[in-house]
């Protein structure tokens, strides 16, 4: 009985300890177990020729307030995915998917995936008209700039949808070559950030600043040769060197055998 009591006490203590650790983790993440969450985010997968894949994750209220879309942002309304697809379709963009909606904080969210033929002309497409894009070649380097300007909202005209203003907006770049220089900074610490694994850089802003149209300047200088091209070149160079070395070894072996045959 004493042993059973000890085991039960240890189990209770373990559960309590796990609860304390979970609470600490949640507190450290601002109430989110898996880190930051965003009200609006753009992920641009850029190629050196200017073509790109673009993924937008956003709440319906954010699409209404930031981009001026004519959508029903009430929590109970159904999401018109065909309407969203139509808003993003253009001669420069091909929408490949509009996801089923999900909910967070009583707001509905969607993901839009599209292919862009030339990012330099993307500002001609209405949902991205708030940005100006540049992609220029300077010798062996490539410079990318994106200047994000005012949102579609006039300050003071938005109905309350449960926002505090501290929600996050993000613009991310997934780059194809070695990054030489950038101006991305940590939003909280106001310090330069490190490049994330996969050549990813992120520019963040509080939703209140984005609603008020506080500008964002995105600037990256990178190598003019893609990482994939360089990797393939190194692979084939190594393969060719290995084949050459094998050929030399075979030739030396045959030559040695020919020399030894008369002596035998």
Is 43 part of a structural domain of the chain?
A: yes
pLDDT(206) > 50: yes
> Do residues 14 and 41 both lie within one domain?
no
Is 250 part of a structural domain of the chain?
A: no
Encode pLDDT of 218-252 as tens digits.
999 999 886 444 443 334 445 445 556 666 677 66
**pLDDT score of 195:** 86
> Do residues 20 and 124 both lie within one domain?
no
Domain that holds residue 193: 37-228
The 3-state secondary structure of the chain reads CHHHHHHHHHHHHHHHHHHHHHHHHHHHCCCCCCCCCEEEEEEEEECCCCCEEEEEEEEHHHHHHHHCCCCCCCCCCCCCHHHHHHHHCECCEEEEEECCCEEECCEEEEEEEEEECCHHHHHHCHHHCCEEEEEEEECCEEEEEEEECCCCCCCCCCCCCCCCCCCEEEEEEECCEEEEEECCECCCCCCECCCECCCEEEEEEEHHHHHCCCCEEEEEEEEEEEHHHHHHHHHHHHHHHHHHHHHHHHHHHHHHHHHHHHHC
pLDDT(161) > 60: yes
Encode pLDDT of 65-93 as tens digits.
999 999 998 888 999 999 999 999 999 99
Encode pLDDT of 115-151 as tens digits.
999 999 999 999 999 999 999 999 999 999 999 999 9
Tell me the pLDDT band of 153, cut-offs 50, 70 and 90.
confident
74 vs 30, higher pLDDT: 74
> Do residues 6 and 132 both lie within one domain?
no
Is 258 part of a structural domain of the chain?
A: no
> Do residues 21 and 139 both lie within one domain?
no
């Amino acid at each position: 009985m004493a042993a059973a009591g000890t085991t039960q006490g240890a189990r209770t203590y373990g559960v309590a300890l796990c609860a304390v650790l979970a609470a600490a983790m949640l507190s450290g993440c601002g109430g989110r177990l898996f880190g930051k969450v965003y009200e609006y985010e753009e992920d641009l997968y850029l190629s050196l020729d200017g073509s790109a894949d673009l993924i937008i994750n956003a709440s319906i209220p954010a699409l209404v307030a930031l981009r001026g879309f004519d959508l029903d942002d009430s929590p109970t309304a159904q999401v018109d995915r065909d309407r969203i697809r139509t808003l993003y379709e253009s001669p420069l963009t091909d929408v490949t998917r509009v996801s089923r909606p999900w909910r967070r904080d009583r707001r509905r969210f969607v993901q839009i995936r599209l292919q862009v033929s030339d990012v330099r002309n993307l500002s001609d497409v209405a949902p991205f008209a708030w940005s100006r894009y540049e992609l220029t070649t300077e010798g062996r380097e490539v410079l990318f700039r994106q200047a994000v300007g005012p949102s579609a909202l006039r300050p003071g005209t938005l109905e309350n949808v449960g926002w505090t203003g501290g929600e996050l907006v993000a613009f991310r770049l997934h780059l194809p070559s070695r990054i030489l220089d950038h101006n991305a900074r940590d939003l909280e610490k106001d310090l330069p950030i490190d490049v994330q694994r996969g050549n990813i850089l992120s520019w963040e802003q509080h939703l209140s600043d984005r609603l008020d149209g506080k500008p964002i300047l995105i600037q990256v200088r990178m190598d003019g040769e893609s990482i994939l091209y360089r990797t393939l070149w190194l692979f084939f160079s190594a393969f060719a060197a290995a084949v050459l070395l094998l050929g030399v070894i075979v030739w030396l072996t045959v030559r040695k055998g020919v020399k030894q045959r008369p002596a035998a």
